[in-house]
Each structure stands twice: as structure tokens, then as C-alpha cells.
Amino acid sequence: MSSIEGASIEGASIEGEVPAGYEISTDQARLDIAAMHAYLTRSYWSPGIPYATVERAARNSLCFGLYEKAGGSQVGLTRVVTDHAIFAYLCDVYVLEAHRGRGLGKFLMKTVMAHPALTGARRAMLGTRDAHGLYRQFGFTDATGTKILMEIVRPDLYRMLASA
């Protein structure tokens, strides 16, 4: 099953009320890459990201699209980079501004965290500048003080590529 109206999505049991007028799907064919690009290119975490990069990232990830039932337009997303066994990295999590304040972010996270790709993962990670409170509700904690995590960060990569 790839659509959810409160019951299940690909074997994940979701408890609680579904916000009226919305649904979540992991069906890649439903993803609106243009809408995703329009949001991501203006987000703080991927300004100027090329369309082709958004498309390739979506194609190679487990994506949870959030859709309005009336009209089917995509209004949110969580993209998960995962091996479907022990690791998951949540990224590109958003709900469009016009749809915020309705519990959709929480509904999206509840659905994502109930998916088998995450329930069996030994490590799930994400990065956020402003939504720590939301993610803490789902068991995420700050990774401070660790000497096991390393990273390469290139925040201006898309601007550098565009000017090259």
C-alpha cells in the first residue's frame, strides 16, 4: 500500500487522526518534482539546488509526499536516504507555508517513523536549524559530544556549480 488515510503505508501501522483533506504517499510517480524544486531552491538548507539534482535525489530515496486530497497537489515532503535495514537519514522535510498549523508536520513525521525502513534502523539522523522540538517528539536528540560522527559540509556548492 502506498497511500495513507490513517491505516497503513507499506506495512507501517499509523495511529491517530489523519488531518482532514490530506494524505501521504510513497508512490514515486505522484511526486511533483517541480513543486519540490520550487520549495527546496528557496529553503535555507539547499538554496539554488538544480532541478536535476532534486530529481535524482528523489529517484534514489524513499520519499513521503504529503498531498491535498482535493486536487492532489503536493504540499509537503520528507525524503529518506536509507538502506532499508540499519540506517536512515531524513532530509528535505517541509510543509508549505499555506498548510502549516494543521498538525501536518507531526502527521508526516509519525508516518515516516512508523515505516519499516526506519523502525528497524539502528541509526536515524537528520539536520535542522529550527525544528528541534518537532523531532524530539519522535526520539531524536542532539548529537553533541560525539567523536564518531564526521561530515563534509559545502553550503555554497550549488552557487559554485552555477557560476562555474
pLDDT tier, 8 (very low <50, low <70, confident <90, very high otherwise): very low
pLDDT at residue 146, rounded to an integer: 75
Which has the closest alpha carbon to 110: 25, 1, 12, 20? 12
**Using an 8 Å Cβ cutoff, are 75 and 99 in contact?**
yes
User: What is the pLDDT averaged over residues 16-41?
Assistant: 93
What residues pair up with 89 in beta bridges, in sequence order? 81, 125
1 is written with which cell numbers? 500500500
From CA 115, how far away is CA 98, in angstroms rounded? 27
Split at pLDDT 50, 70, 90, the class of 129 is very high
For the domain 3-163, what is the CATH superfamily, name and number? Gcn5-related N-acetyltransferase (GNAT) (3.40.630.30)
The pTM is what? Answer: 0.87
Range 60-85 burial, b when 16+ CB lie within 10 A, else e: ebbbbbbbeeeeeebbbbbbbebeee
More confident residue, 3 or 80: 80
What ranges in 14-144 are assigned the alpha helix state H?
Answer: 33-40, 51-59, 104-114, 116-119, 132-136
What is Dmax (Cα atoms) for the chain? Answer: 49
Q: Which residue has the higher pLDDT, 91 or 148?
A: 91
Helix (H, G, I), strand (E, B) or coil at 136: helix
Q: What is the pLDDT of residues 41-68, one digit of tens each?
A: 999 999 999 999 999 999 999 999 999 9
